[in-house]
Amino acid sequence: MASVSIEEASKRYGSSKVLHDVSLDIADGEFVTLVGPSGCGKSTLLRMIAGLEDISGGQIRIGSKIVNDIAPKERDIAMVFQSYALYPHMTVAENMAFSLKLSKISKAEIKAKVDKASDILGLTPLLDRYPRQLSGGQRQRVAMGRAIVRDPSVFLFDEPLSNLDAKLRVAMRTEIKALHQRLKTTTIYVTHDQVEAMTMADKIVVMRDGRIEQAGRPLELYDHPANLFVAQFIGSPSMNMLHGTIGAEGFATADGLQAPLEPNHKTLSRPAIYGIRPEHLAIADFPAPDTLAVTVDVIEPTGAETQIFAHFGATPIVAVVRERITTNPGDRLFLRPDMEKLHLFSADGNSRL
Amino acid sequence: MTIPVITSAIDADNEEARPRRVSNTANLFLIPAGVMSVLLIGLPLLGLLVTSLFEFNLTQMAMYRFVWLSNYVTIVQDPAFWHALRVTIAFVIESVALQIVAGVAIALLFDHRLPGLSLIRTLFLAPMMIAPVFAGMIWRLFLSDDFGLAKYLLQLAGWSEPPLWLSNPAFAIHAVVIIVSWQWIPFVVLFCLAGLQIIPRDLYEAAKLDGAGPIRRFTAITLPLLMPIISTVLVFRVIDALKVFDVIYATTGGGPGDSTETLSYLVYQQAMGFFNMGYGAALATVMLIVVATLALILIKFNERIAKGRA
Amino acid sequence: MKIFRIACVYAACLAVLAIFLAPIAWVVVISLKMRGDIFTWPPTFFGFKPTMINYVNVLSGSSKFLLYLGNSLIVASVSTVVAVCIGTLGAFALSGRRKRSSKLWSYWMLSFRMMPPVALIIPYHFLYQKAGMLGSLSAIAISHSVFSVAVVLWMTKNFFDEVPSEIEEAAMVDGASEWQTFRYIILPMAKAAIAASLIFAFLTSWNEFLFAAILSNTKTYTAPVAISSFVGEVYVSWGELAAATIVGILPALVVVFFGQRYLLVGLAPGAVK
């Protein structure tokens, strides 16, 4: 068990800087997800922690030890790769035992550890099979077994569920989380799927273009996104955005329509971005000063809820409501935003108002 | 693309999104191979160069003297050298042309998905795996005037007085061309087959619908798409043809006369026949330069073709 | 109509194969003929009484050919083992690793392929004479090793390059050193490629003539050299010569018949998908 602290870490490939002085503290036993669009640097950061990439600047500590120049095997970490990277010529048992064999532990001890790990993951009947004989989910588990067996201080996961189909992904998500609750090992988990990130993390770190946009508890980022990017990245379907100006009457959108605004928000007369999540829009029976009048485009019932795709002026709006509705495309509808869940951002999107 | 291009083998810097750490122990692994090549290739070549600057004959070992470039001057004036050069070049052109034309034709024939054809294709590789010396011997027996099957078959085909292939100066070189081509046409076929199988069948379907006949389909689709492979094969075949030695030794010994005396054979003769080590070394150096130049030209040509098509 | 076309293709393919294998077949026939039968005209493919006497003579204890075959076997085996050891190590070092000089190495290896062996006979003759090794099998084996290393390195490197980097990274994280990664992970994965390169190196050495001729004496001839010594002879037992030739090409024929898969891996890496 160990904490991980990243201090002003940066990474250069030739002349291009891929990570810009990133700092992050991960407490012992925490489950942290690094999430962001492709190319944001999350995998690079993970690999730097693992020791698979050099650190161009700054430091990384595991426990209290600076590990910048220490080889991966000395860092007491274990990694689960996106493609599982199982040794094809070894059985499941041999795959899991490999690292233990290298550290010259006795055969009996190796067997005990492998048995224990495979027991936790349900791999015992598969111990003599080869990777090519296993399904995707099973290979996943073997990859995790290989990591668990070493009882490391830190687990590193590099998009481990990307290659699985949707249903399996959901099931494995729960398993990994349960595993973490059982073993309580510090875990750093990289994914591009924000639902995964939100559901699994104690702390979620949203990254973009080599910088951390925001880090904190998942609900924290959901309720109080620090900027437009985080606001739109977290939550599916993404937050609705209206561009316009804050005025005395309310929020005036670019195409001249009014959106309701709390009195204390009307302080500044400035251009801003008005954000409201689809799930915080309720259907109103009558038009009122605190409603938005939208024109419906498409209704998508998913069974548990109904997604409404509409237009407010020129801006597309999405609303998610629990009730079934019978509106038709082209009809007018009135949506009431939950005033407490309103978000205002500066016009350039970089900060919260 | 899976078409083997010579320089793709050279391009060891694979485009990976994430370059890996340079490891120092990797260098250690290279030491045996490195030491071997330096000691057994690099130094000897240097020695060759040095020897070429001497007048040195093994039979009179004590009497060697440093003559700077005079061996090379002698080469330029030596009619045997120019003759050997002519023979070599004519041989290369003739044999490579034959190999490529026949190779492509046979590849086209073999390019069908029929049961049993893969066995035929594999057995077809036999001539290539045989030592050139044995190939030479096989053809001596085959072409023999006393008991060779070839003579009989040719007579059946209407040629009542087939020549003494290996003892007739006019025919000897062509006999060698045939033997060498016999060995290496399977090589061409192998590569061309691989290239043919990459060409998507839809292109032919589309061409058929457009009304193109088989010949047109060949010239408009097959040939252009096969060009990268053909040029790769060309490089290999030309380089190998320049080096030909074993077959000649085993069949004609450079003769009759000097009709099959290629550059390789000339070097061998001077060094091992007359023991003129110095002169032989100079000849070998010249030959190296010729081969290296030709190879570089061909590789550049090959690169350009591959880049144009890929 | 389609069946006719298929039949034509088969016929043509078989004809081509027959034409190409005819010389070899003819030598087999000669090797099975008694002296008198060899010279009958028109020459007969069948219709004679086959005899094994030529093979018996060639392979008997009194014949030296057995010794020469043994020499070929020793030289090929030793040079192949050396080549595989050195070559796989080198290929691993060069594969996928960012070495600024790896392009240089590749050009170096390519120039091996390009070099005419005749260029080296003079320095080699001198070298081995000075070392007092002229006429020894070791000299021949060493010379063969050099070129075999290039073959093995080329072929195994192509395979190593295909191994996903994540596997090596997993090994690194598991705690394996470069050597351990090579020995426990990469090498076992490459069995097929190594087998193919092994076969190739063996054949290359078996078939090699020039260096074997230069560096051997009458006791250490290899099979190709022994055969070539009959080139100038006038009075020869043709039947025995044919038998010796067939025995000499036996390894090649065995590889063609049984090692097909390996052949294709080796000859056209990347062309077989």
DSSP readout, B212-258?
--HHHHIIIIIHHHHHHHHHHHHHHHHHHHHH--HHHHHHTTT-STT
Q: What is the pLDDT of residues C124-178, one digit of tens each?
A: 988 888 888 888 889 999 999 988 988 888 888 888 888 888 898 999 899 888 8
Confidence band, pLDDT 50/70/90 cuts, at residue B7: very low
Percentage of residues in chain A with pLDDT exceeding 90?
A: 29
Q: What is the predicted pLDDT for the residue at C272?
A: 35
CATH code for the structural domain at C64-222+252-267: 1.10.3720.10
Q: What is the mean pLDDT of chain A?
A: 87
Q: What is the mean pLDDT of residues A10-31?
A: 88
Q: What is the predicted pLDDT for the residue at C145?
A: 92
Distance, CA of A111 to chain centre = 36
Residue B279 three-state SS: helix
Q: What is the mean pLDDT of chain B?
A: 83
The ipTM, to two decimals, is 0.86
What Å distances lie between residue A177 and A170, A182, C11, CA to CA?
11, 9, 66
Q: What is the mean pLDDT of residues A22-50?
A: 91
Residue A85 three-state SS: coil
Q: What is the predicted pLDDT for the residue at A142?
A: 93
Q: From the candidates C9, C33, C114, C124, which should be mutated to test the interface with B, based on the most B CB atoms within 10 A?
A: C114
Q: Chain A residues with CB inside 8 Å of B19's CB?
A: 13
Residue C96 falls in which region: left (phi positive, over 0), alpha (psi -120 to 50) or beta: left
Q: Do B21 and A54 touch (CB under 8 A)?
A: yes
Q: What is the mean pLDDT of residues A142-168?
A: 90
| Closest Cα in chain B, distance from residue A316 (Å) | 37
Range with top average pLDDT, A170-184, A264-278, C61-75, C228-242 = A170-184
| Closest Cα in chain A, distance from residue B24 (Å) | 13
Across A110-114, B23-27, C37-41, least confident range: B23-27
Q: Do B147 and C122 touch (CB under 8 A)?
A: no
Measuring CA to CA, which residue among A275, A282, A274 is closest to residue A247? Answer: A274
Q: What is the pLDDT of residues A223-239, one digit of tens each?
A: 888 888 898 888 888 88
Q: Which helix (H) or strand (E) holds A321?
A: strand A315-321
Q: What is the mean pLDDT of residues A66-75?
A: 86
| Closest Cα in chain B, distance from residue C10 (Å) | 8
H-assigned helices in chain C: 2-31, 35-38, 53-59, 65-94, 102-114, 118-130, 137-162, 165-174, 178-180, 187-189, 191-207, 210-215, 223-228, 238-258, 260-267
Measured CA to CA, the distance from residue C10 to residue C103 in angstroms comes to 45
Confidence band, pLDDT 50/70/90 cuts, at residue B104: very high
Q: Chain C residues with CB inside 8 Å of B284's CB?
A: 116, 118-119, 122
Q: Do B21 and A13 touch (CB under 8 A)?
A: no
Q: What is the predicted pLDDT for the residue at A256?
A: 67
Question: Quick check: A271 pLDDT over 90?
Answer: no
Q: What is the pLDDT of residues B240-284, one digit of tens each?
A: 999 999 999 888 887 787 888 899 999 998 888 888 888 888 999
Q: What is the mean pLDDT of residues A245-267?
A: 71
Confidence band, pLDDT 50/70/90 cuts, at residue B19: very low
Q: What is the predicted pLDDT for the residue at B255?
A: 74
Chain B residue nearest residue C211, CA to CA: B246
Q: Chain B residues with CB inside 8 Å of C119's CB?
A: 45, 48, 267, 284-285, 287-288
Q: Chain A residues with CB inside 8 Å of C166's CB?
A: 81-83, 85
Sheet holding A77-80, edge to edge: A77-80, A154-158, A186-191, A31-35, A203-208, A211-216
Q: What is the predicted pLDDT for the residue at B253?
A: 80
Q: What is the mean pLDDT of residues C89-113?
A: 71
Q: Do A81 and C169 touch (CB under 8 A)?
A: yes
Q: Judging by DSSP bridges, how do beta strands A31-35 and A186-191 pair with one another?
A: parallel
Confidence band, pLDDT 50/70/90 cuts, at residue B21: low
B19 and chain A in contact, CB less than 8 A: yes
Confidence band, pLDDT 50/70/90 cuts, at residue B6: very low
Confidence band, pLDDT 50/70/90 cuts, at residue B8: very low
Q: What is the pLDDT of residues C252-269, one digit of tens each?
A: 888 888 876 666 655 554
Q: Do C103 and B11 touch (CB under 8 A)?
A: yes
Identify which of B3, B13, B29 has the shortest CB distance to residue C92.
B29
Chain B residue nearest residue C10, CA to CA: B117
**Domain residue spans of chain B:** 2-51, 70-309
Q: Chain B residues with CB inside 8 Å of C43's CB?
A: 147-149, 152
Q: What is the mean pLDDT of residues A189-215?
A: 91
Question: Quick check: B98 pLDDT over 90?
Answer: yes
Q: Chain C residues with CB inside 8 Å of B51's CB?
A: 122-123, 126
Whether domain B70-309 has CATH 1.10.3720.10: yes
Q: What is the predicted pLDDT for the residue at B86?
A: 92
Measured CA to CA, the distance from residue A26 to residue A47 in angstroms comes to 16
Q: What is the predicted pLDDT for the residue at A1?
A: 66
Q: What is the pLDDT of residues C69-94, one digit of tens each?
A: 999 999 999 999 999 999 998 888 87
**Domain residue spans of chain C:** 64-222+252-267
Residue A188 three-state SS: strand
